[in-house]
Amino acid sequence: MALRLDKYLTELGAGTRSEVKKQIKAGLVTVNGAVAKKPEQKVDETGDEVCLRGERLRYTAFEYYLFHKPAGCVSATQDNMHRTVMDYLSDTARGDLFPVGRLDLDTEGLLLITNDGALAHALLSPSRHVAKTYYARVQGVVDETDVNFFKNGVDIGEEKPARPADLVILGCKEDVSEITLTITEGKFHQVRRMMASRGMTVAYLERRQEGALTLGNLPRGCVRELNAREIRELEESAGLAE
């Protein structure tokens, strides 16, 4: 498939559309050894050799990143008040990346960033029931009654109750409980609303797993690229594996 040269460069993170046009005009871009002269020039992203300042650019159709979202960061590509997840990627990140789904401003943890729309749609589709596991500190004493209650689904004030969820009690000290909760939906403020249905308030929330992808020991605020195995397993979780 042929792309406009300026679009090609923008997608690979060489700059904004106006910035890459200036680079082309300055003679900094070559295509198959010849200096490019027009931003609308067509290039084959798999066959042509495109260089910027003498360095060859490698094009891949899709990229996948695991981000450990910190509190105070919004799950968006642009925001006028807060840092976005995209602000934590390098300045050379391609321009078509986006976060898959969202975590609340104060919620931390795993967030997938990609430009693979099909995978994003599958992971977010309610019909796929992709599991998501959260760690939470809760004001209140969580006991086996709550565990069994969540196994049958929870009324959170919508037309349909939330689907059955797997609640695991990690410990309790001075009326503060530590739990993990695995859900297969992505309703607005779902974990907080589920705990509120039991008269409890979530003081801290962190997503640790989505499908087969786990947060692991990635430090807060850091990003890393997924490997081939992780991508394949994530596709399997979303029901996209062949």
User: Following DSSP, what letter does each residue of 68-126 receive, concatenated?
Assistant: EEPTTEESSS--SSSEEGGGGS-TT--TT-EESS---TT-EEEEEEES-HHHHHHHH-T
Q: Are strands 223-225 and 64-69 parallel, antiparallel or unpaired?
A: antiparallel
Q: Is 104 a catalytic residue?
A: yes
* Helix, coil or strand: residue 242: coil
Residues facing residue 195 across a β-bridge = none
Quote the Cα angle for 47-224-202, to 5°: 140
- Annotated catalytic residue: which of 44, 48, 96, 104? 104
Residues facing residue 110 across a β-bridge = 68
Distance CA 161, CA 72 (A): 30
Quote the Cα angle for 159-162-168, to 5°: 160
What amino acid positions are annotated as catalytic residues?
104
